[in-house]
Amino acid sequence: MCIKVKFTFSCDDESVNKTNLELCQLKQLLKDYKMKEQWVGDDIYEINQNTELYQKVTNFVKNNLDETIEFIIFSFKVTMNKEEWNDAVAFKICFPKHYCQEYDDIDNEYNECSICYSKEKTDELFFAQPKGYIKKHQDDLGIAILDGTVELVMLPRLVEKLKEAGVDQKYFQPIISKRKKILGYIFVTDNILPVKSYIDENSKFENQCPSCQRINMTENKEELYYKQKQLSKEGIKALKDVNKTYEFYDRYREIIVSKKVAQVIRENVPDVEFYPVFKRSKGYPENV
């Protein structure tokens, strides 16, 4: 797999940004990987994580923690060949590039724990404004994200393609406007994967809420490389077309889709990216 990491790094102390020779040299070497956008005035870079240059960057970050170096990973881009795609047992859909807007005067409600703030989707329909991407591309096949939540919104034509491929309509819940027009659909499912069956080493255990008992995971900021997502034998046996992780990641369960669902989306929406999920590696402790 080819894995590109999108990141920024700088120091809170502006004098260090200008006088730290190694930092200045690294930024000079990274100039060819600089992207057009910036993050609060800092340059953003995208580079293959398996390069010597990225290793130099991560070594610098680890060796200069006392210099208050701020290192932020925005995303990983995973490119798979045919064999790697076929070897995956499931997929996670990455954060899409397009947005659709929610209403300022309508809250899309979750069942939220008052202690840990983890959120579970209720049966209530969500609302979106019929404008922007969702309006301009209403007759296209595409995916966006609600700007105030983490819900993926599939445009109607894409959902029709998924249904034609045999994906049950029970996995799709409409997103509507104030006038009750269906603008798209989000994934819904009652199929929760077994506890600890989904493994994502780019996240780490945060807590188990004493109130709701939900297991909360958070970003592992010490892990500076993309780690392969894995699923245990029990998780693979429990897989359906649309699934949710038992654990909550940054307060929400992750959606994991079958290879069939991912293939239909891949064929019809080329700009959508995926994280492949593979069978748990041999030797990986079953109780982790």
pLDDT along the chain (288 residues), means of 10: 93 65 90 94 95 95 78 95 96 94 93 96 95 93 90 96 98 96 97 97 97 97 95 98 98 97 96 96 55
Q: Whose CA is closest to 243, among 194, 182, 205, 174?
A: 194
Pairing of strands 229-231, 274-279: parallel
Same domain, 130 and 216: yes
- Residue 84, classed as helix, strand or coil, is helix
Residues 210 and 281 placed together within one structural domain of the fold:
yes
Residue ranges making up the domain that contains 62: 2-79
Q: Are residues 96 and 19 in the same domain?
A: no
Q: Are residues 158 and 257 in the same domain?
A: yes
pLDDT at 67: 65
Same domain? 125 vs 73:
no
**Residue at a domain's end among 79, 101, 135:** 79
- Token representation of residue 203: 């996240």
Domain end (from 53, 79, 105) = 79
* 103, 180: one domain: yes
Residue 230: count of CB within 10 angstroms of its CB? 19
* Entry pTM: 0.92
Percent composition of the chain: helix, strand, coil (DSSP 3-state, to 5): 25, 35, 40
- Per the structure, the count of domains in the chain is 2
Nearest in space to 151 (alpha carbons), one of 255, 277, 276 = 255
Q: Nearest 5°: CA angle at 152, between 149 and 158?
A: 155
- CATH number for the domain harbouring residue 18: 3.30.70
Cα–Cα distance for residue pair 166/106, rounded to 1 Å? 34
User: Are residues 99 and 15 located together in one domain of the fold?
Assistant: no
Q: What is the DSSP string of 110-170?
A: EEE-TTT--EEE-SSPEE--S-THHHHTTTS--EEEETTS--EEE-HHHHHHHHHTT--GG
Residue 141, pLDDT score: 95
Q: Are residues 177 and 252 in the same domain?
A: yes
Q: Which of 62, 79, 96 is the last residue in one of the domains?
A: 79
Tokens 């102390």 sit on residue: 13
For residues 117 and 222, membership in a common domain is answered with yes
Assess whether 136 and 273 both reside in one domain: yes
- Shared domain for 184 and 282, answered yes or no, is yes
